[in-house]
Structure 1
Amino acid sequence: MTTAPPPRRRGAFVDLTPLTSSPAFARLWSARAAAGIGSQLTLVAVGLNVFDLVRPTDGVAAATFAVSLTGVLALVPTVLAGLYGGMLADAFDRRTVAVVAAFASWICTVVLAALSWTGAETVASLYVLTVLSATATTVLQASESAATPRLLPARLLPAAGALMGITVGISVTVGPGLAGVLVASVGFEWCYTIDAVLFVGTLIALATLPRMPQEGPIDRPGLASLLGGLAFLKSAPNIRTTFVVDIIAMTFGQPRVLYPAVGAVLLGGGALTVGLLSAAFAIGALLSSLFSGRLGGIRRQGLAIERAIIVYGVCIGLFGAVLAAAALGEAVGALPTPAGPLWVGIAAVLLAGAGGADNVSAIFRGTMLQTAAPDSMRGRLQGIFIVVVTGGPRVGDLYAGLLAATGLLFLPPVVGGVLIVILVALAVRRRGFLRYDSAHPTP
């Protein structure tokens, strides 16, 4: 494993070298961008679908909580899939594992589209298919992430992380906005159908990857393999700290389940506001990736992670303050009900700031994991990493849903923003993390 730091780039624009040096990575990257748009279509559409099914009979608060359950119910299966998927990636050909998992996720989307076209979808069916798809996707992400260092040299991994941030930014910018337009104009079924079509590209890209069997001793999936991964993580304080700070940020800084209620009763705009707020977060991530060229020259990556997450917490807290100001203005009659486009714009700018900060943190957390962890452990650690980045937001959905049930929609982000700043500052005050040097990566 090389320890040489990547060359410092003079320009600010994203480094495109990974795309030109590895055709396999380039195919995977482009397919992820297309499939990501489709997955965001489904994610937003499912939330709005559940909200529309529950609200007429049970009210806004109950509908918001029901939306939060779309993520919460997938938490335990996602945790298990991340752990087992990581073990599979360390024991078998990573291309094969990825293809099988991707096909299972695609089938779930096809079934969801069929139910929607026939008008047979129910809250229960939306929950079940979301859980199954999330489980398969977690295995897919674990195997893909563990495979990336086999496609590129270590010096290009930070640039690859930034490029993947662009795919996320494009997906979450275009997907939610398009979902809002489609739901408002032609219905949920088109969102699910487009997702199924776009995902075919991912299946093709994965099938054309080179074979990536495990090198060296193989730990077969099972308790011993899992314990081996956890034992390594216990001895890897820098990697472990990246997991902890991300859990803090995602648990207390995920206001997405509030968007349907915010669009319906507070800021106005309905599905279009939901799409805009969701897209704003991704726009910030996209911009931070587009101008990530200088990030490759940052060696103190632990310090960069801390600062990025604190900025994230501040932005989320200010987003909550905007919701609080809008609610107060409406209560005293100083603002119309709902508040209107100006307040939507202010909220969107703050969410864009949060998205940019989160993406910078993700680039350095992913790079630290891929360069400091040995290949024989990378699948299992990536599995745990996926559990953190997918499970944390689902716990955050529950946190936001429970506090929003009080009727105070601003409460989750206001309290969460404060907690993020305090808890992250405490979590990183261990010896070594803030001095972590990418020139000499140590787990």
Structure 2
Amino acid sequence: MAVIQKRLHIAVTHETHAFVDATDPNSRDPFVYHLDSDDSEANTSDDEETTTTACTIDAPSFPPMTCRETWYLWFHRDGARPPLRSLRYRDLSKRDAVRRTKAAKVIDKLTAVAIDRKLVSSAGALELMDRKELVAVFDDVFPAFVAACNPDCNLSSNSLCSSVLKWAVPTDPSSTKVEFPSEDCRTAWQHWFKGDAALTNGVPHRNFLAWKVSYSHRTSAKRVIQTLVQIAVERSLVPSSAPEASFEAMSNQSLSNAFDDVFPIFVQQFHPSVRASIKSTLKCGSVVHFMTPALWLKHPLAGTNTGLSRRPPVPCRDMWLLWFKGDVASKGTPYRHCRGGNGSGVCKTLWFDSKAIMNAFVKLAEENNVVKNAKSLPDMVDETLLGVFDRVFPLFVKTIDPKYHRYVLPDKSCSTLIKHVLATRNS
């Protein structure tokens, strides 16, 4: 172990090229160089004769290591060093980042062999093992892995991890890149820890390596799920040492029950005006839009901007209720009385778009005898008021050109509906 520690405290010469974390949701660089692409391996050699230089112990690095060393340190920390799998690409030099990419693919292949040989039930189970158990699994898996490699393979457990991929036979699903799916929160939670038989052959989405370069859906899912995991840790549903591995080791039913425990708590972390919009059936990409400093109370910058001027678009069904009832943001004043959006937190454009749509709904309600008198709407209880909306909305859809019907939905903002109203008039 002393040898390993010494090697981990060495950093190779850092390249001047700046990398951006491909999974960083704050990255706005359209030319992000994704290290999981084939180009990252093809364009960078792994010459181990690179001159090394002294650096501080805190400098993240991914030095050349044997397969055996990499296997253990991938899952477990080494003293003050975190597990290798937790190192971020943006914190590494170009050469170290490429080594990390190659190591991740090797570990994924070895893990697949371990699961196939029924040594473990999932990759998460490996994270829960101690050193002795991990080494025992490696000693069983590596010979089987070598046996399945290309002919004339001369690999050993002491071979450098970076040299393994040139011998390995491509295996599914890593041989074909696939798109990360856009899923609702509940489905994304299940697939993150248990995988999808049709898409990833049962490999948990968090461990799957063959995603295409586009990371938008994965970034959204990861942000939502990691927030839910943190809630679970705070409530002692899983140990803080390996929470995701613990979820992966759960049965499907236990995993679903855990989601039911933490998601309502997650919803309560938002401003009261948007809680009704955050549902487990909502896609992760939509939920992330609400995770702003103004709306998400747990945001690192929450409280720095107390106004709601930058709140996301409000679904028209929610706006119907706000139009007659108001909320905390408007101090109970119905939005229809917040001229130009003043005091409601919505921008002026959205307010006027909402006014046009709400007036259209009210007119349809009266013309079709859904209500006898529109003046009774403000006095209705919330459930009755939403019942009126649910009867009126299909009538509104019929006024729109059929080719736009699939876009005219209750969870769309009034500004979106206005676009289709205008498009219908011009068609």
Report the TM range for the smaller structure's normalisation. under 0.3
- Normalized per residue, the structure richer in helix is 1
TM-score by length of 2: 0.27
Higher RCO structure (Cα 8 Å, ≥6 apart): 1
Decide which structure has the larger Cα Rg and report it: 2
